[in-house]
Structure 1
């Protein structure tokens, strides 16, 4: 079944990998520190330079800049490096809003103004479509933008005890993965989290240190809904009664929902505070008078502001009519399905994870929507003959994971839908799937980017295809 994992920028590492390039296969990096000029961005939003006839991918550098670099990997066809000194700065360079930006791998573009970030991502989308699908949208949509700080409603803080190289007592490291490493960056704050969640980080550090079983805590997840914030404490061994009480007291003091996740991982996550009420948070889609509930570990769009804009734009582009039958693939917990149902005759939502289809049914019931059906199915298989797919669809929405929806689009033409809307978190797989949709007789009418993850290299986009 397709994976429903969120982008990995805030997932903690599982092992130490100091000094190694994440791509592997390189010899020991050169100790040279040459000056290079950054020509443009790669599709990964890394600076591209040439030195001694070889391409160099440079982190922390912007197009048009002259920088001094330190090599991190030397390979047969290209090298990798990081800018250690900016000799000639781009007008798009800014002071990062986070004090941990130089080492933390969560945000790779904080040195770049938000406007320049979104311009670069739009160009990457258009370049990928042109290069791999030989397609240009008839209309480039204005980018969807919003707050660039305090936007991220979910994150995972890694917990590790590390001994100094000189020996001595191990110290607690609490934070996110470092750039180019599986080590953790020790953080005191995170400006892309909501302010109240960021302010919890130093207090979480103290709470961990007070625990008897502190070394059995592997990570802490923070999930913020509209009204409440939840903590998920991952512990590799059962908590002592004293430690359980410490976390309960912490949750009560900070008015948090508390979940414990035991040795069996996600399957053993349970809410312990408040004792009453459902184990759910929620977010609102005011334009459709909808409220969607989610478990803290469910896949959701973590930028609520952009999500609201995206859902409204999706329905505008798809132009759903009252008589339409609509198919929502990779539907999750109903983020698009339920708004679509307020416009259409019937909507069928299909998702690879059974737990999310159950959540979607809960959300439909809670919002009084009865013209939807949800189905758990493996979308890597041909589903065209499945009972739920019979009867055809007038319009189709796709919101696949990063590996795209190639298996889906190869079979989608038989539905003869008037319009297909593709929500993408990876322009490379969108471009690949665009080429397939064009072969199926569709035309790329409109496409644009959405600033779902400011300061990161993730490129979120939306594309409308119509039958030729």
Structure 2
């Protein structure tokens, strides 16, 4: 598969991904995948660039994987959002013009949203102090951005360290706090497709949803409208903090958020161990009929696999189809795939996101 940016070849590379997913899932009698396309350009909402200096002047640079010594200098990045491309030149020009902003600057990170907000992080090989703040504030006002300065052990936030995204799913707009440095889906348009597919796949339910790896509540919020109650679990403190904000911002009152790792959830639900973090939560009040998982690239561990097999339905979103197929070797013993989807989060790369709905046999 060619990895070069080539919008004219987009349909071909997407067809190759579809064929690869079908091959991986063929032994599990999966139905044909529903395919959700990306915009061919300007689809990536976040990007980071190292700065490469030639004759004392900084340039945005990217590197081939595994080779940090051969820089490819760039002025624009067509896969990045239009907002990122609009900001790249004026931001770098301002840093060139002002030594307080530009001295020992080595990396620039952009986070943008479909709703039009932008947050930029400037990373330095020198300590930052209050002298940085005033020129940084002027630049933030000039470009209408949130601006953060980072150096070793220090983080200077001028106003706030997050942007607010707005995603339209199943006839409703959901708002999400997205914190600098936290995980967010890079392709906002395809993320909306994923959320819409998940909501449609689970349908309307009178029982409850157990969600593992909930992150900042990306799936939690729209899925909460399809169940009586939701118990969502996440371990990372920054993600839990954002999830709490997002639940409140969207008035999702039927969600119980618990800070537990997936293996701890297994221990709690099977009665192996009690957790102080579950104080005041009666697990017997829940009637889980569906479990939703969106695991890291390594997939589900054996204990979590055994746990999810105990539920009638499993909604599984995967960022690694190889580990999804490995997990399905176990899940296929008790469940069958009834729906399947391919989400092209990462055009012009080998990576793809997929989803399956499994129902017990």
Q: Within 5 Å, which residues of 2 pair with 1:12-411? A: 45=1, 60=2, 108-110=4-6, 113-130=9-26, 134-137=27-30, 139-161=31-53, 169-178=55-64, 181-183=67-69, 184-212=71-99, 214=102, 216-225=104-113, 226-239=115-128, 243-264=132-153, 268-272=154-158, 275=159, 279-286=161-168, 287-321=171-205, 323-380=206-263, 383-386=266-269, 391-407=286-302, 409-411=304-306
Could you tell me which runs of 5 or more consecutive residues in structure 2 were left unpaired when the two chains were aligned: 270-277
Q: After TM superposition, give the deviation of residue 154 of structure 1 in Å.
A: 0.9
Whole-Å Cα distance in 2 between the matches of residues 407 and 203 of structure 1? Answer: 50
So what's the TM-score if we normalise by structure 1? 0.68
Q: CA distance change for structure 1 residues 210 and 380 in 2, over 3 Å: closer, same or farther? A: farther
Bigger-Rg structure (1/2): 1
Secondary structure at the counterpart of residue 400 of structure 1: coil
2:357 matches 1:464: yes
Whole-Å Cα distance in 2 between the matches of residues 346 and 450 of structure 1? Answer: 27
Q: CA distance change for structure 1 residues 285 and 324 in 2, over 3 Å: closer, same or farther? A: farther
Q: After TM superposition, give the deviation of residue 257 of structure 1 in Å.
A: 1.0
Whole-Å Cα distance in 2 between the matches of residues 125 and 353 of structure 1? Answer: 30
Q: After TM superposition, give the deviation of residue 432 of structure 1 in Å.
A: 0.8
Q: CA distance change for structure 1 residues 338 and 145 in 2, over 3 Å: closer, same or farther? A: same
Deviations along 1:226-260, one digit per CA (max 9) or x if unpaired, are 13211111223223655543332222111111112
Q: CA distance change for structure 1 residues 271 and 444 in 2, over 3 Å: closer, same or farther? A: same
**Bigger RCO (CA 8 Å, 6+ sep):** 2
Cα pair 1:347 1:373 within 8 Å, conserved: yes
Q: CA distance change for structure 1 residues 111 and 309 in 2, over 3 Å: closer, same or farther? A: closer
- Structure 1 segments of 4+ aligned residues over 6 angstroms from their partners: none
Q: Which residue of 1 is the match for residue 347 of structure 2?
A: 454
Secondary structure at the counterpart of residue 199 of structure 1: helix
Whole-Å Cα distance in 1 between the matches of residues 248 and 34 of structure 2? Answer: 35
Q: CA distance change for structure 1 residues 444 and 235 in 2, over 3 Å: closer, same or farther? A: same
Q: Which residue of 1 is the match for residue 330 of structure 2?
A: 436
Cα pair 2:210 2:288 within 8 Å, conserved: yes
Cα pair 2:150 2:156 within 8 Å, conserved: yes
Whole-Å Cα distance in 2 between the matches of residues 362 and 129 of structure 1? Answer: 38
Number of residue pairs aligned between Structure 1 and Structure 2: 344
Cα pair 1:328 1:397 within 8 Å, conserved: yes
Deviates more, 1:232-241 or 1:323-332: 232-241
So what's the TM-score if we normalise by structure 2? 0.87
Q: Which residue of 2 is the match for residue 65 of structure 1?
A: none
Q: Which residue of 1 is the match for residue 272 of structure 2?
A: none
